[in-house]
Amino acid sequence: MSNLALFPIVIPLIFAAVLMLFPKNVSMQRIVAIAGVSATLVSALFLFSKVSTDGIQAVTLGSWPAPFGISMVSDMLSVLLVLSSTLVTLFVLFYSIPTIGVKREQSYYYPAVLFLMTGVNGAFTTGDIFNLFVFIEVLLMASYALIVHGGEKPQLRESIKYLLVNIISSALFVSAVAYLYSVTGTLNMADLAVKIPEIEAVGILTVIAVLFLVVFGFKAAIFPLYFWLPGSYFAPPMAILALFGALLTKVGVYAIMRTYTLFFTMNIGFTHELLAIIAILTILAGCIGALAYFDVKKIIIYNIIIAVGVILFGISQMNAAGVEGSIFYLVHDMLIKAALFLLVGILTVIFGTSDLRKMGGLIKSYPLFGWTFLIAAFGLAGIPPLSGFPGKLLIVQGGFEGTHFWGSLVILATSLLVLLSVVRIFIYAFWGEPAKIVTIDRKHYLSIFVPTAILVALTVVLGAGAELFMPFVSDAGEVLLNPSLYIDAVLKE
Amino acid sequence: MEIVMSVAIGLLFMAAVYLMLSKSLIRIIIGTGLLSHGAHLLLLTMGGLGGTAPPVVADGVSVSDYADPLPQALILTAIVISFAVTSFFLVLAYRAYQELGTDNMELLRGTEDYE
């Protein structure tokens, strides 16, 4: 038994605690924060190589045997997500150094980001449903701090709503855990996967499964529970928004993915049918929002919702193509969403506004930025060979192989709408009559453009080199489709 | 006993929903407090209220006499978390009241351009 699975959780925690000791020394804050995230990235890479050679890594805290103690389980899916979330955080940190402002840096911005990482990595790694609740609370607490960080008026107003929605969903989470415990008598995910098929009362378990869908749906922003997202995500500065857009909803998606493949499989005809319908409605609602606004932030925020729908549709099919597609798309979406938010962040810096109608003609003065944006936009919509394509292809294939061919048709049709929504930004901002721009220092521009461009380049690598990544994705998919692999790894330890 | 507890939990949830639907921010915060109390009591009740002996292995006590220790551990965690979140919410509400000059949710709607 190796403790490697705990490192991506513990390292950011320690660094965050250290960072809180000297909040006023900005240059030290930056160095230590980047060192912390880099160390986490290195440990995640080690964990990744360990998992890909030796299979699932399970750690039981305090060496209590598996169903009694808390298990931390790192399978291929969770390690892929830990790796990509750490990578995204690193680039967002590089972006936030020049943009976030010294005042925020001096008031515990970096510790909050690292605490957020602790929660996110923990939620991806845990193998216990109550521990998942605790890690989600850790990341929510950090996100409360980040969303209100700086204390501007819109931030204060929106964070009240964000806080309230999350408190209600947390209370529902505790209630759902209580019901699950009273029916099954265990909270360890592997043990649940053993016990649930033995229980004959399928009706009550279906109710619990739907309750969990509601709980995780609040976090993941599925239809009709996404109402809080556009307003809340609009308020904080762009670096924080990129972090939220790339990581927070993905935790909810991961939780649905895990619970709906590992143990809530007793009544697939109802629960997964429901999931498929909700996923399609989520995509449609997101598309309406993405096309309705002239605000670049809003357009990308609604694209988060669309991606959540696409990923969940793949999961609801429960076949190899659908699940593998969802995993690939999840990793792709983390990277591309962060990249797009950072790109529109640069746009708002250059134009001094996020209103599309006040932008125009940027391609002459910033050609490289323009083409980078276009590549990211094509990647989001899934134009081959960019990274959105392989995932979406597999998800659509999964839908055709399953019973929901209509869902695949909707995904194909809405891909065009997604493309339209982001290309609209390109057309308005880069073509046409040059609009008034804020003159920014070349050095400052490069310091925010370079990390963004590298992130876009990474998504291109992920798409063009999909053949290289596919073995890992199918490894991850295999564990999801055969719960016995997961159960054996945890309980036989 | 479980029935009585269930009714009490239902009443707590009812009061919480009523308070959270009001316009005043402080009533909403009290509502969230009641909601989490209800959820915690539910956790305790769902673990089963039977069992009189403390969950420590001792001679002459059969397994069925022990109180289930797991819900107690879970509740402790959940209480600490909801305590922290509630105190954060109170501070946030106070700061928002100072900055925005109102605690009426109707006036905190926020419009398209957010001003």
Locate A19 and state its tokens. 């960072």
- Among A115, A166, A174, A204, which would you mutate to test the B interface (most chain B Cβ atoms within 10 Å of its Cβ)? A174
In this prediction, the answer to ipTM > 0.85 reads yes
pTM of structure: 0.95
A41-57 pLDDT tens trace: 999 999 999 999 998 99
Task: Give backbone dihedrals phi and psi of A71, rounded to 5 degrees, phi first.
Answer: -100, 140
A interface residues, B as partner, C-beta within 8 Å: 130, 133-134, 137, 141, 144, 148, 151, 153-154, 156-161, 163-164, 167-168, 170-172, 174-175, 177-179, 181-182, 187, 231, 234-235
CA–CA–CA angle B28, B19, B73 (5° rounding): 75
Which residues are registered as beta bridge partners of A73? A58
Largest Cα–Cα distance in chain A? 68
Locate A105 and state its tokens. 């840096």
What residues make up the domain containing A25? 3-491
Spatial neighbors of A465 by CB under 8 A, at least 6 apart, are none
Contacts of A187 in chain B (CB under 8 A): 70
Locate B49 and state its tokens. 């209220």
Q: Which residue of A has its CA nearest to B95?
A: A156
What residues make up the domain containing B74? 1-49+67-100
Locate A490 and state its tokens. 């945890």
Count of other CB atoms within 10 angstroms of residue A136: 27
Instruction: Domain count for chain B, please give it.
Output: 1
- Round to whole Å and give the CA distance between B108 and B115: 11
* Closest approach of A395 to chain B, Cα-based (Å): 35
Instruction: Domain count for chain A, please give it.
Output: 1
Nearest to B85 among A133, A167, A177 (CB): A167
User: How many contacts does A have with B, using Cβ atoms within 8 A?
Assistant: 98
Q: Tell me: cis bond preceding A224? Omega within 30 of 0 counts.
A: yes
A153-188 pLDDT tens trace: 889 989 999 999 999 999 999 999 999 999 998 999
Contacts of B50 in chain A (CB under 8 A): none
User: How does the average pLDDT of chain A come out, rounded?
Assistant: 93
Whether A27 shows a pLDDT value over 80: the answer reads yes
B15-56 pLDDT tens trace: 999 999 999 999 999 999 999 999 999 998 988 787 777 777
**Euclidean distance between the first and the last CA atom of chain A, given in angstroms as a whole number:** 8
Spatial neighbors of B2 by CB under 8 A, at least 6 apart, are B45, B48, B49
B106 belongs to a structural domain: no
Average pLDDT over residues A406-427: 94
pLDDT at B114: 44
Residue B30 burial (C-beta neighbours within 10 Å; 0-12, 13-18, 19+): middle
Whether B112 shows a pLDDT value over 80: the answer reads no
- Residue by residue, DSSP assigns A204-247 as HHHHHHHHHHHHHHHHHT-TTTTTTHHHHHHSS-HHHHHHIIII
- Report how far Cα A479 is from the mean position of its chain's Cα atoms: 20
Whether residue A163 and residue B46 make contact (CB cut-off 8 A), yes or no, is: no
Whether residue A167 and residue B32 make contact (CB cut-off 8 A), yes or no, is: yes
Closest by Cα among A170, A186, A178, A185 to A136? A170
Banded model confidence at residue B115, pLDDT cuts 50, 70, 90: very low
B59 belongs to a structural domain: no
Count of other CB atoms within 10 angstroms of residue A400: 15
pLDDT exceeding 90 applies to what percent of chain A?
83
- Report how far Cα A95 is from the mean position of its chain's Cα atoms: 18
CA distance to A3, A181, A263, A486, per residue, from A189 (Å)? 19, 11, 8, 9
Count of other CB atoms within 10 angstroms of residue A312: 28
A70-80 pLDDT tens trace: 999 999 999 99
Helix axes A442-464, A320-351, angle to 10 degrees: 170
Average pLDDT over residues A257-267: 92
* Closest approach of B13 to chain A, Cα-based (Å): 10
- Number of alpha carbons in the 13 Å side-chain half-sphere of residue A406: 6
Task: Give backbone dihedrals phi and psi of B8, rounded to 5 degrees, phi first.
Answer: -60, -40
- Round to whole Å and give the CA distance between A133 and A127: 11
Whether residue A177 and residue B92 make contact (CB cut-off 8 A), yes or no, is: no
Count of other CB atoms within 10 angstroms of residue A49: 11
Cβ–Cβ < 8 Å for A310, A329: yes
DSSP A61: G
